[in-house]
Chains A and B, each alone.
Chain A
Amino acid sequence: MLATALVMALLAIVLCSALGLASGRFRVKEISLAERIAAIDAILPQTQCGKCSYPGCKPYAQAIASGEADINQCPPGGKEGIRKLADLLGREVKPLSAEHGVEKPKALALIDEQVCIGCTLCIQACPVDAILGAAKQMHTVIADQCTGCELCVPPCPVDCISMVPLAETVDTWKCRYPVA
């Protein structure tokens, strides 16, 4: 009787400690909020256009991570971006929300330098410092750094900024999917 109780007690102690050790050792790591935001931010296109109704890609990533915003509010990211976000967060793929805009091919801002009066309003609007110029001097867009966010278009008092779709060149040409 006593022996049985002792054996059972011993077994209970050994197994409990084994379980305890295992739960500590094989604990599923919680992804911290900062890591989750960084992962979401890495998928977003960094256009910084604010079309998602947040002032930039990072704030939108924070809003997604906190459950405040949905994953279908980024028009520059488009269908592909929504798919990647859905993969990351284990959610359903949704169509792009219409109130936030439509998916367009990437375009770059182009300043008509004959018309520009050098008011610097577009420079202040550009979220990525891609416009070069000074007061009463001609401004120009650094094409390599332009994200195509369109934020410089409305402030221009003389409407000299147009969005030009990115043309395909020999260097950027992509091989087509082979058709059988």
Chain B
Amino acid sequence: MKGLFRFNGGVKPASNKDVSTQQPIASLPLPEVLVIPLHQNVGGTPRPLVAPGDHVLKGQRIGTADGNPSTAVHASTSGTVLAVAMRCMPHPSGLDALCIVLEPDGRDEWIEHHPFDYRTATLAQTRNYLRDAGIVGIGGESFPSHLDTLVINGAESEPFITCDDMLMRERAAQILRGTTIMRDVLAARRVLIGIEDNKPEAIAAMTDAANRLGDPAVTVVVIPTIYPSGSAELLIRVLTGIEVPHGKCQTDYGVLCFGVSTAYAIHEAIDLGQPLISRIVTVTGNVETARNIDVRIGTSMNHLVAQARPRPDSDRLIMGGPMTGLQMPNRDVPVVKATTAVLVGSPTLFPPPPPEMPCIRCGDCVTACPADLQPFELYRFAQAKLFAEAKDYHLFDCIECGGCAYVCPSHIPLVDYYRFAKSEIRTREHDKKCADEARERFEFRQFREEREKLERAAKLAARSAVGRDAATATGMPEPVLAQLDDAKRALITAALNRVASPRQAVVPDNTEGLTTAPRADG
């Protein structure tokens, strides 16, 4: 094994992964209703293709990609569309977004589907095919034609989450197949599959599958277990030593990173023709039987969690892990393509944090920060709403891993402050952009009005000049012109008189044989 690269900082929280790896991946009975959000990707919201009352088949496209980057959405099972309506999203805001509500018919009948021959297709065709198969997480619009290193992320450093671990243990061959497809499509020189050393079974399964594949370009690399090496930026850094700055594409540096679940979804889409309609989700935390479940997109989290039998004191659901997860507004939000885990929380498992104390500038957060930032300075700026300064201190390089808040002796929810500052800065930049566009349009309107005024004046001047020229050219004396005008005026008067002349003067046709009553009407 060649040398790995290091990043500074990182933390080692208790992994809590063993509880959910004891049992194989289970499947879930069909729920009574599926709520499939249309917007599950970065970029534009897909447009709905179905109307209430339509019958759809499993894998049928129900939302089409609108613009680039955007991805299609598919029916997770066969059934009837109940509504295309606003439903609560799995997002801390608890706001609604457009969803397709589907009532399964229980037959689970597939739409006709065929494998895709990517070898004869062009790069753009393959990309559009994957977009229409609803694959998310392959880097949006940046889809390079050649690549140095393809990084497959099997690190999964977040505590509690084991969905990638179980997927690698049980479906290593399929993941390798998806990886090979992507390597061929992107013409990557080498493929590095990064797995943390706390997953020996997954490493064994993946190494075995890679050996059977017999491709020297594909290597399984075991990396040390340090949170957050599972983040794409840091995994690329550990495996290749390349640091991708914020705002730049990975592909500008010849690397591209995506997860093992994406590789698996690519295999299903290309080799089987099946779009992304389900994913592996870890259900863990305050439950009796923590495990991984193959869940259809759109299944309510409540239905999913019920399979793992939550303990009675459970009080909240967290999507993701304890470090970066988002608390859900209620239990009925759907599972989406980005749901890796549903963590059931309780006051004993996650006790409320101790009261926030003042920052003592101890510097522990600086030591822990894997992005080489100064978290306490960022905190100071975010707290004082000094957004320009926070940006100068590279706030947007923060990957929100939560390492700083984890080590903070004053229990400051640092990541919450960064999220606040980031969304505030994004809103302001958006407003600024809108204002600049409005200024441009206002100035153009003024320019146009000015131009129209000039054009009108020029036309008027030209017309009067032509009139004068004509008068002099024909050599008609002024009185003749006046006479001409008089002649015209006479014509107009005659026409007016004709119109105004009394109706009685005109003899109505075909009225001889009529009785008196209609004639009176006429």
Contact = CB atoms under 8 A, between A and B. Distances in A.
Interface of A: 41, 44-48, 56-58, 127-130, 145, 147, 168-178, 180
Contact of A178 (B416, B438, B442): B416
B442 A127 contact: yes
15 contacts: A45-B435, A56-B446, A58-B442, A58-B443, A128-B438, A129-B444, A145-B437, A147-B438, A170-B89, A170-B91, A170-B95, A171-B39, A173-B91, A173-B93, A175-B92
A57 B446 CA distance: 13
Interface string B423-447: 1100100010011111101111110
Contact of A48 (B419, B436, B442): B442
A170 B37 CA distance: 12
Contacts of B419: 175
Contacts of B446: 56
B481 interface: no
Contact of B93 (A44, A46, A168): A168
Q: Is the interface of B mostly helix, strand, loop or mixed?
A: helix
B479 interface: no
Contacts of B67: none
Interface of B: 39, 89, 91-93, 95, 97, 355-356, 413, 416-417, 419-420, 422-424, 427, 431, 434-439, 441-446
Contacts of A175: 92, 416, 419-420, 422-424
B445 A128 contact: yes
A129 B437 CA distance: 11
A contact patch SS: loop
A44 B431 CA distance: 11
Contacts of B424: 174-175
A80 B215 CA distance: 60
Given A46-B442, A173-B95, A178 B427 contact: no
A150 to B, nearest CB: 14
A54 to B, nearest CB: 13
Contacts of A48: 438, 442
Contact of A47 (B438, B443, B444): B438
A132 B456 CA distance: 24
A119 to B, nearest CB: 19
- Top 6 nearest A-B pairs (CB, nearest first) are A178-B416, A46-B435, A46-B438, A175-B419, A173-B93, A128-B441
Contacts of B443: 58
Given A147-B438, A175-B423, A178-B416, 5 more contacts: A46-B436, A46-B442, A171-B39, A172-B427, A180-B356
A44 B444 CA distance: 18
Nearest to B439: A46
A170 B93 contact: yes
A63 B271 CA distance: 68
A170 B39 contact: yes
A166 to B, nearest CB: 11
Nearest to A144: B434
A154 B356 CA distance: 52
A57 B419 CA distance: 33
Contacts of B413: 178
A166 B446 CA distance: 27
Nearest to A57: B439
Contacts of A145: 437-438, 441
A95 B518 CA distance: 77
Nearest to B411: A180
A80 B419 CA distance: 21
A104 to B, nearest CB: 15
Contacts of A128: 438, 441-442, 445
Nearest to A48: B442
A47 B437 CA distance: 11
Contact of A177 (B97, B420, B437, B445): B420
B324 to A, nearest CB: 14
Contacts of B444: 129
A84 B422 CA distance: 20
Contacts of B417: 178
